[in-house]
Amino acid sequence: MTTPNTYASDVEAVDALRDAYKALRAEIGKVIIGQDQVVKDSLISIFSNGHCLLVGVPGLAKTLLVNTIASVLGLSYNRIQFTPDLMPSDIIGTEILDENRHFKFIKGPLFANIILADEINRTPPKTQSALLEAMQERAVTTAGTRYILPNPFFVLATQNPIEQEGTYALPEAQLDRFMFNVQLDYPSFEEEVQVVKNTTSNYNPQLNKIISGEQILEFQKLVRRIPVPDNVLNYAVKLASKTRPGTPEAAAITKDYISWGAGPRASQYLVIGAKCNAVLNGKYSPDIEDVKAIAPAILRHRIVKNFKAEAEGISMESIIDSLLKG
């Protein structure tokens, strides 16, 4: 496939990204049945140079999804199973004394393009922080030496929402490092029939690499260059501002049910996510509907409900829905 920087204009490059996305969806669909929005959100986070938190009960193919995405993108991939006894050196790497009595750094599993952080809430805060620092800096430091992680670098973390024994909840400040919080739901009856049919037979699809790491980096730069109308930019910032209690922009539902709102990073991700969503839908500039389309996945882990909301059983989804309609 031709790389984006060989195109005569950004318009041609946008068309190329849209076509690549369609090809990726078709290839991923050989393995992943349904979960269309989850797949789209995961790819948006990658093309936006963000990280993604996948939340769902066991058995919804979270690990298979990440593995499949890595295969069709032609990227290196490591899965890290987070456990209570996992130490930072287990994921970053460690120094050893070689045969010449010199210290040598042995890279840990974090040195790959795509990292699946499986059950991230099962490891203590010290190890969580080591991962989240790498997510922010795209580099790790050990024994005073800084090591740059591969580029592109994405963390797709999973979390089980129903099994809380032996878990360490991610603090809000750490959750903010994730661009998206994607909720996985059960498949429909027809989708589950197809899943069972495929997984209980000799069905073994061969996945093709659609784009390369170099192309992903070029597409990331392209998304940044997409122009944003002032009304869309203002809507994104206003939407984030409406979640902040105690401010003039706070919505009525915010004053009633929210104790802490989304920070400026939410506004940034709303804009960059809207750009990418627009491109993948074949548009050359985002509109307000593109912001609304990606807003739930960006806001749901950046808003903290108050006691009143918990007592009255007000869900985060209903709060966000009200903010989008307001």
pLDDT for 163 equals 61
Q: Which fold has domain 4-204?
A: Rossmann fold (3.40.50)
pLDDT (tens digit per residue) in 79-128: 999 888 999 889 998 888 777 777 788 899 999 999 999 888 888 888 88
**Burial annotation 193-202 (CB, 10 A radius, 16+ → b, else e):** eebeeeeeee
pLDDT (tens digit per residue) in 14-34: 999 999 999 999 999 988 888
pLDDT (tens digit per residue) in 165-197: 667 777 777 788 899 999 888 888 998 898 898
**What does pTM read for this prediction?**
0.89
pLDDT for 1 equals 47
Nearest to 46 by CA among 73, 11, 12, 19: 73
Confidence band for 313, pLDDT divided at 50, 70 and 90: very high
DSSP annotation of 74? T
Confidence band for 4, pLDDT divided at 50, 70 and 90: very low
What CA–CA distance (Å, rounded) separates 115 from 325? 36
| Domain extents in the chain | 4-204, 226-325
Residue range 226-325, CATH number: 1.10.8.80
Confidence band for 2, pLDDT divided at 50, 70 and 90: very low
User: CB pairs under 8 A, 24+ apart, for 56-62?
Assistant: 56/158, 56/160, 56/161, 56/183, 56/184, 56/185, 57/160, 57/161, 57/162, 57/184, 57/186, 58/160, 58/163, 60/35, 60/184, 60/185, 60/186, 60/187, 61/32, 61/35, 61/195, 62/158, 62/184
- Give me the mean pLDDT over the 298-309 stretch: 93
